[in-house]
A and B are shown apart, each in its own frame.
Chain A
Amino acid sequence: MKLIIAIIQPNKLEEVKDALNKEGISRLTILDVEGYGKQKGHTEIFRGREYEIMFTRKVQLEIAVRNDKEKEVVVETILKNARTGNIGDGKIFVLPIEEVYRVRTGEKGEDAI
């Protein structure tokens, strides 16, 4: 079991979501996040004075997958659909999951994903 965390451009969310659904991955948690990497921030002006906004808005996706096959599908789908080719397209992290529980039934492990 793996947890895939992907940080992508907010305007790519719809495409990624639809593509994941098409691949049969019909579950997704998203978070509004802010941060910076190579892309850096941008300049704004208020009352005639410029200031740097370092944190750029992104969307973070979290998807738990059962096995490596599912993981490949999800990663490939995100890579393909979230890419614009510009700096700031984001990152994908894959983390191991120790345990998973379904709150409604109490199921455990892969069955709970």
Chain B
Amino acid sequence: MKRILIFMLIFPSTFVFSEGSVNYVAQSNVNLIWTILAAFLVFFMQAGFAMVETGFTRAKNSVNIIMKNLIDFAVGSLAFWFIGFGLMFGLNSSGLIGKPGFFWDGFLINSDGSLNYWSFAFIIFQNVFAATSATIISGAVAERIKFITYLIYTFLVSAFVYPIFGSWAWNSLFSQGGKGWLEALGFIDFAGSTVVHSIGGWLGLAGAVVLGPRIGKYVNGKPRPIPGHNIPLAALGVFILWFGWFGFNPGSTLGYSDNLGIIAVTTSLSASAGTLSAMITVWILKKKPEVSMTLNGALAGLVAITAPCAVVSPLSAIIIGLIAGVIVVFSVLFFDNIGIDDPVGAVSVHGVCGAWGTIAVGLFAAEPYGSVNGLFYGGGFRLLGIQALGALVAFLYAFLIGLGIFKLIDITIGIRVSRKEEIEGLDIFEHGIEAYSNFKITHN
């Protein structure tokens, strides 16, 4: 009764119906409102990515980073409208791909000619998710990729690469009657550790490999740090991302759900644990609680809990986050050491910790949080195997397709800016303006 009273306050119009229909109408209203509110939170993550990437890179490339993060949302949204959404959520009868349906054709109108209001809410939520995946790549290829190249691949990613993998894991969310082959196996990726983050991270890895390191990153084969120019901005970005994640994970319920609070709790606990363990790891290794790695630790915890957030206990969430925070430190140093230059750690945070979170489902999933049990809760190896398979397939799919796309772009129009442009800054050459004119910038 208390709940009905609250609904009455929020949605007075529903009470023109009889008492019996009240709950039903209120539920669908709440679903719609929660889904679009969560979409707005996830949209704000775009600002978070822009700030993290700007802060962790040099002042001379700030305008370029901002333009990439702005334009990938714009291009990505239109690409997702053009064909991406259809590929991801159209009827997937083969398990491999959704029936395209260009421009959302067939999704917006019910068979009786009325508008399908739910479709619009679902579309905006999925739209901001697709943009998140595309924008992750930006960090890994920062400070050396041609802007026009970025436009081309961001279109390809949002129109094809992201949606096709998405249709394997999430197609049934839109209830067209089909099912992707991974979800049919029982693959669990609640809010997208794999679908969104790993795919973005592995595509970024492909980009970083094809591009090669920034000038000055390696001296006589030894990695040299290229310090970011604005740590407070990077920190603001991480806070914004953490905030946005409360839409990303709890929003993936796509409506009212009794476990909303649980998902918010596991999400935040894992982020806290990741922050702490990354800080302690780097403190032990380098004798200082270093800020950029600690910030990455928060994101590592968030990415890792994204798949398991709805199926694990709070204690498991803490363990998952703790491990993610350690993984991210060693992963960043590893990629640095083998000659892959990822200026902001996007590959380690999103690719590697996304894979970890996906596999963690197979270890930590437990009733009654979820409906299945992982290895540590008596579920045996079956779920773990499926999760590992999904993570592996995501790596092979995104990394190989990414290599293909970036290589193709490289041999046709060229992927990298000129040496002169890279040294003097992408801002002036690509965009004709400095980020901080009238503001002293020291050389580095």
Contact = CB atoms under 8 A, between A and B. Distances in A.
B285 interface: yes
Interface residues of A, number: 9
Interface in A22-42: 34
A23 B245 CA distance: 62
A44 B292 CA distance: 12
B332 A44 contact: no
Considering the complex of A and B, which 8 residue pairs feature the smallest CB-CB distances, nearest first?
A: A49-B225, A46-B227, A46-B225, A45-B290, A51-B225, A47-B292, A48-B293, A45-B286
Interface in B36-93: 56
A33 to B, nearest CB: 12
A48 B332 CA distance: 8
Contacts of A46: 225-228, 290, 292
A111 interface: no
A44 B225 CA distance: 10
B223 A49 contact: yes
Contacts of B345: 47
User: Among A34, A44, A45, which residue has the most Cβ atoms of chain B within 10 A?
Assistant: A45
A99 interface: no
A85 B317 CA distance: 54
Interface residues of B, number: 21
B332 A47 contact: yes
A105 to B, nearest CB: 32
A50 interface: yes
Contacts of A44: 227
A74 B228 CA distance: 41
Nearest to B348: A47
Nearest to A34: B442
A51 B285 CA distance: 14
A48 B333 CA distance: 7
A47 B286 contact: no
Given A46-B227, A50-B286, A51-B224, 14 more contacts: A45-B225, A45-B282, A45-B288, A45-B290, A46-B290, A47-B225, A47-B345, A48-B285, A48-B286, A48-B290, A49-B286, A49-B333, A49-B336, A51-B227
7 contacts: A44-B227, A45-B290, A46-B227, A47-B290, A47-B296, A48-B286, A49-B286
Contacts of B336: 47, 49
Contacts of A47: 56, 225, 290, 292-293, 296, 332, 336, 345
A79 B58 CA distance: 39
Contacts of B228: 46
B121 interface: no
Nearest to A47: B292
A47 to B, nearest CB: 5
> Which of A46, A50, A51 neighbours the largest number of chain B CB atoms within 10 Å of its CB?
A46
Nearest to B345: A47
Contacts of B288: 45
Point out which of A44, A45, A47, A48 has the most chain B C-beta atoms below 10 A from its C-beta. A47
Contacts of A51: 224-225, 227
Contacts of B223: 49
Interface in B219-240: 223-228
B329 interface: yes
Contacts of B56: 47
